Structure 1
Amino acid sequence: MLLLQDICYAHPNKDVLFTHINLYLGKGEKASLIGRNGSGKSTLLKIAAGLLSATEGRIKVEGTLYYVPQVYGQFDAMTVAETLHIDKKINAYREILGGNPTEYNLEILDDDWSIEERFHQALQDWRLDGIGPDRKMGSLSGGQKTKVLLSGIGLYQPDIVLLDEPGNHLDRDGRDLLYDFIGNSAQTILIVSHDRALLHRVDRTFELEKDKIVTYGGDYAFYVQQKQHETQALQRDIKSSEKALHHAREIQRESAQRQQKLDSKGKKKQQKSGLPTISMNTLRNKAENSSSKLKSVHAEKTQAIAHELSGLRKSLPERSKIKFGFDDSNLHNGKTLFKGTKINFAFSDVFLWKSDLDIEILSGERIALHGANGSGKTTLINMLLDNLEPSTGTLNRTVSKTVYVDQDYSAINDKLNVLEQLQKSNLSLKPEHEIKTELSRFLFPQNDWDKPCAALSGGERMRLLLCCLTISGQSPEVIILDEPTNNLDLENVAILTDALRAYKGTLIVVSHDAHFVADIGLQREIRLE
């Protein structure tokens, strides 16, 4: 059982991340924790794991807990055994077998005579045969590093497992192993992930917001359905408020016109009646006060409706606010963009592919590039980008403009700020006010325009790149994407999906996210072996 009660957390600089968060997960339950990038999902997991201290609140854990962090380069200088915190026990075991059964070594081993056997079995369960405890993590691929950390679940057999983006670097086979584990495990599991196939394997969905967690009693598909109902109801409320505001403004205008006519008629009658000046002034002041009160009543009502409407619009999902404007006039379907005949690439005289490749890619095609880790996907991409020439065969390219998008959105220049990056892409020389309008459409308010690109989150980098493509004037003939969803939250994955659906050029995509691949309508597969 895992209980987080009234949890608050503020960064060391006193900025509050979230307040009064409550979460309960019973024995054997499996749940996902979702939310926008920067909402604090990883921080909350670290607090639950005891790696961070909450500013306020109470944590209760019944049973043992194991935490799998996101994998970057933080383990590269460590061995596999050090990463799994068994290095001292492995060393003691070896010392004892080598004839050095000191009191210290026996105490460290703590009668765990099966430690090496369990270590190898745990790694084999994740298909990491041949990797020993002394292997440096820096020599492993991203997927292998993730599997090392996941193998700790089998090694420690915890009651509660916390997983932070466990599928980020896994290939299809690795993800299948992860899905099987989630499906078959009897442990209590809490997952932070944007992998929808993984999120469909849980019992409950927690959505983290700044001051609360909203609980949905089902998997991610159930969550999406509920959010759609909420959005539809919100859109109905917006339409109703828009009609009410239009009606209120019409009444305000008609009332003002009617009052103006009455005031004009009253003034003429007063002039004809021959009343003394002081009496006429008194009547005029009364009429003006009455008119002013009437205007005030209508203005207050109109402002109240307008304020309510503004609040409703702000509540809309972010993706509903973005407008794409790709100019596809230079695209011509059916044109041969790449034609490779018997191509291969050699590393130290060893060819990458078992058989030479014959490929042809036409304008307008939407292609999934598949292959296990190390199968040469990146090499082929570099050939298509004209960064590499094949060692054998010929590759003809007839592409005028290609955009390459990696998982870090490195096409964004970290030396620039947000506005400067967009100005650099303004090849059609649109005026500055249009540039700023586009930034607002892509969810960059005015206080973000001076923000350094190096400080942007994955979702912000993606949205800025889409904004740059929109304002550049012409769509590229080809967009190549290499694991573009790895560092995006679910809302930004949806924004990217909408953009790629709107794009009419050629797509070449490397992604282990099966739902993303299906949603963007990839029609053909190139598989590397």
Structure 2
Amino acid sequence: MPTITFTDVSFTWPDGTACLAPFSLSLDAGLHGVIGSNGTGKTTLARLVTGDLRPSTGTISVPRPLCALAQDLGLRPDATVADLLGITETLEALDAVARGDIDPALFDVIGDDWGVEEQARSALDRAGLRRIASTEAGLRRPIGTLSGGEAVQVALVGIEMRRPAALLLDEPTNNLDVDARRRLGELLERERGRIPILAISHDRSLLDGCDSITALTPSGPARSRSDGITTPMGATVTMRPGGYAEWAEERAAAADRAEQRVRAAKSSHATEKRQRIAHEIKQSRDERRGRSFHASKREPKMVMNLRRRAAEQSAGALRGTMQNREMRAAEAVKQAELEAWIPDAVHIELPDTQVAPGQRVLELDLVGCPSDDPEAPPLASEIIHPIIKGPERWRLAGSNGSGKTTLLRAVMAEGQVEATHRVVARTDRVGYIAQTPAIPDASTLLEAVRDANPGAEEQWLRDQLARLLFRGDKVFAAPATLSGGERFRAAVAMTLLASPAPQLLLLDEPTNNLDMDTVDWLVDVMARYEGALMVVTHDDDVAERLGLTRTLDLDLVARAVAPGGSEAQ
């Protein structure tokens, strides 16, 4: 049975920064989830599996061929559908033979795949990608003309065609609509009994169905190296059987036990400290009594000196013993806190974002479906008029390529798009956070946030950024140097801390590429946001947690579902 095996593997970056602490792991056929907060090393682990990186210590054994689906699909701007399917070389060889080239190397490339183009078109059609398979450009169509979800679906079709011996998926459900998620689930069910599948994900529904969970956890707070540079400790890698729900339950129990150890260690340290202080008070009192006794000269001087030296030696030994016990108790506290260490949570205080009930915030005139595909015809001729009022929370739904992002951009622009729909924003306080948040070209993060709120005092902005974990000199970091999670938090800061604050907030697949802690934080922030909300998400769990109670489905042109499932215009 194919197995992915890690033996005493660790990884340290060339500058000496530890990334992954030594670990050993064996993953047989099955679906194995990989979780961890942003920056713990999940992508590094994936690159070790694919061979893009070599471990600092240990060995990795991976069955071949390995198919890997990266978050960005590893695409060049001019990449094609055939590139994602992994058949470009074969198609080029077939084209060369069709032109009369009889080079034997071409036949070696083709092998038995003379019908690969027809097979690819048929596979795309079965996956619901008929518009890609049937067009003249077809397999040579640039990926840039597809939606993010369609690109992922094409890559999944390529995986099915290649029949790999092992599979690596990095956030596979990002951008996938309901149908595409169902097809992914069917693929995983078919393959999990045959090959090992490593799925890096924050999708709880996917993780709940895993055969095991491998967690990457920071070993503790940052430490200072010998050269004075502060660097995080390498993440620990642990695996347990079962899905995410079982893992989370075990983690909660372990956290409770760790907190109990911290409390017990602190109590022991406090006791040792009290005893040391009490001993020092008693010793000071005895020394004063001894000096008084010596002054009265009740015994010969030699005898009194001998007794004093003996008492000082005894007291010194006891003082040293008690100090050592207190130091050991203090070290026990540090160790217990280190073992119970949890990354800092992010917080933010939202400014005034209230919208009065009944206040019209956004009106839409939709004619058919505002599709991203210029070849797609409208689905209806009548005009539909969805209206967002007060602090309503809408989910913008639709299959990949149906035009969800196009509509959000039209709301920001407030106008007409390709003569298919008209947008009327009843407020000029609109905030938008895209799938890939754009950070202005500023010299520092603080400057970028200040540009969004020029009237705010710098200290207030720094206080708010600190709540988002941008502390100390981090506020002076160049935006281009921020990680994916940091860029998202920065985008939230610039949007919600803008002046005036948004009354209508548009979020386009906000949880893509976020770790679970940041998703939880986003849900908490949105729970305190009091304006109108429109969110594009294919994650039912996130939609429920965000309180999205109305839906505009672009596939059905205009179905506004009120709470309880009744139809609303």
SS of residue matched to 1:230: helix
CA shift in 2, pair 1:202/1:322, >3 Å = closer
State the AA in 2 paired with 1:456.
Answer: L
CA shift in 2, pair 1:480/1:79, >3 Å = closer
Which residue of structure 1 lines up, in the alignment, with residue 226 of structure 2?
A: none
Q: Indicate which of 339, 345, 354 corresponds to 1:331.
A: 354
How many Å separate the matches in 2 of 1:204 and 1:146?
Answer: 24
Q: Contact 1:34–1:207 (CA<8 Å) still a contact in 2? A: yes
Q: Contact 1:352–1:376 (CA<8 Å) still a contact in 2? A: no
Q: Does 1:218 align with 2:225?
A: no
Which residue of structure 2 lines up, in the alignment, with residue 525 of structure 1?
A: 551
SS of residue matched to 1:133: helix
Q: Does 1:486 align with 2:512?
A: yes
How many Å separate the matches in 1 of 2:446 and 2:515?
Answer: 23
Q: Indicate which of 426, 429, 442 corresponds to 1:397.
A: 426
CA shift in 2, pair 1:338/1:20, >3 Å = same
Q: Deviations over 1:56-75 (max 9, x none)?
A: 43333445332222225723
Q: Indicate which of 253, 256, 261 corresponds to 1:229.
A: 253
CA shift in 2, pair 1:440/1:338, >3 Å = closer
Shift of the alpha carbon at 1:203? 0.7
Which residue of structure 2 lines up, in the alignment, with residue 159 of structure 1?
A: 165
How many Å separate the matches in 2 of 1:133 and 1:211?
Answer: 42
Q: Deviations over 1:378-420 (max 9, x none)?
A: 3443454455467776735246x4432223332x445343455
State the AA in 2 paired with 1:178.
Answer: L
Q: Contact 2:484–2:513 (CA<8 Å) still a contact in 1? A: yes
SS of residue matched to 1:168: coil
Task: Give the percent of matched residue pairs that are identical in Structure 1 and Structure 2.
Answer: 27
Which residue of structure 1 lines up, in the alignment, with residue 204 of structure 2?
A: 196
Shift of the alpha carbon at 1:524? 2.8
Which residue of structure 1 lines up, in the alignment, with residue 221 of structure 2?
A: none
CA shift in 2, pair 1:255/1:408, >3 Å = farther
Which residue of structure 2 lines up, in the alignment, with residue 205 of structure 1?
A: 213
SS of residue matched to 1:338: strand
Which residue of structure 2 lines up, in the alignment, with residue 240 of structure 1?
A: 264
Which residue of structure 2 lines up, in the alignment, with residue 187 of structure 1?
A: 194
Which residue of structure 1 lines up, in the alignment, with residue 184 of structure 2?
A: 178
Shift of the alpha carbon at 1:338? 0.6
Q: Contact 1:409–1:461 (CA<8 Å) still a contact in 2? A: yes
Matches within 5 A, 1:228-307: 228-271=252-295, 297-307=321-331
Higher mean Cα deviation, 231-240 or 461-470? Answer: 461-470
How many Å separate the matches in 1 of 2:524 and 2:183?
Answer: 30
TM-score, length-normalised on structure 2? 0.77
How many Å separate the matches in 2 of 1:281 and 1:366?
Answer: 86
Shift of the alpha carbon at 1:222? 1.8
- Aligned-residue CA RMSD in angstroms? 4.0
CA shift in 2, pair 1:219/1:119, >3 Å = same
Q: Does 1:35 align with 2:36?
A: yes
Which residue of structure 2 lines up, in the alignment, with residue 23 of structure 1?
A: 25
State the AA in 1 paired with 2:6.
Answer: L
Shift of the alpha carbon at 1:105? 3.5
Which residue of structure 2 lines up, in the alignment, with residue 360 of structure 1?
A: 387
SS of residue matched to 1:485: coil
Shift of the alpha carbon at 1:16? 4.6
Matches within 5 A, 1:399-414: 401-410=429-438, 412-414=439-441
Higher mean Cα deviation, 38-47 or 259-268? Answer: 259-268
How many Å separate the matches in 2 of 1:301 and 1:57?
Answer: 40
Shift of the alpha carbon at 1:215? 0.9
Q: Indicate which of 372, 396, 399 corresponds to 1:372.
A: 399
CA shift in 2, pair 1:287/1:75, >3 Å = same
CA shift in 2, pair 1:351/1:69, >3 Å = closer
CA shift in 2, pair 1:456/1:365, >3 Å = same
Shift of the alpha carbon at 1:178? 0.9
Q: Contact 1:324–1:470 (CA<8 Å) still a contact in 2? A: no
Which residue of structure 1 lines up, in the alignment, with residue 534 of structure 2?
A: 508
CA shift in 2, pair 1:218/1:287, >3 Å = same
Which residue of structure 2 lines up, in the alignment, with residue 309 of structure 1?
A: 333
How many Å separate the matches in 2 of 1:323 and 1:82?
Answer: 40
Shift of the alpha carbon at 1:440? 5.5
Task: Structure 1: state its 5+ residue gaps.
Answer: none
Which residue of structure 1 lines up, in the alignment, with residue 567 of structure 2?
A: none
Q: Indicate which of 144, 151, 154 corresponds to 1:145.
A: 151
Q: Contact 1:75–1:83 (CA<8 Å) still a contact in 2? A: no
Which residue of structure 2 lines up, in the alignment, with residue 91 of structure 1?
A: 92
Q: Contact 2:397–2:551 (CA<8 Å) still a contact in 1? A: yes
SS of residue matched to 2:386: strand
Q: Indicate which of 416, 438, 442 corresponds to 1:415.
A: 442
How many Å separate the matches in 2 of 1:394 and 1:462?
Answer: 27
Higher mean Cα deviation, 89-98 or 485-494? Answer: 89-98
State the AA in 2 paired with 1:515.
Answer: D
How many Å separate the matches in 1 of 2:316 and 2:476?
Answer: 44
State the AA in 2 paired with 1:151.
Answer: V
Shift of the alpha carbon at 1:508? 2.6
Q: Deviations over 1:204-237 (max 9, x none)?
A: 1112353653111011222212211112222222
Shift of the alpha carbon at 1:488? 1.5
Q: Contact 1:197–1:514 (CA<8 Å) still a contact in 2? A: no
SS of residue matched to 2:93: helix
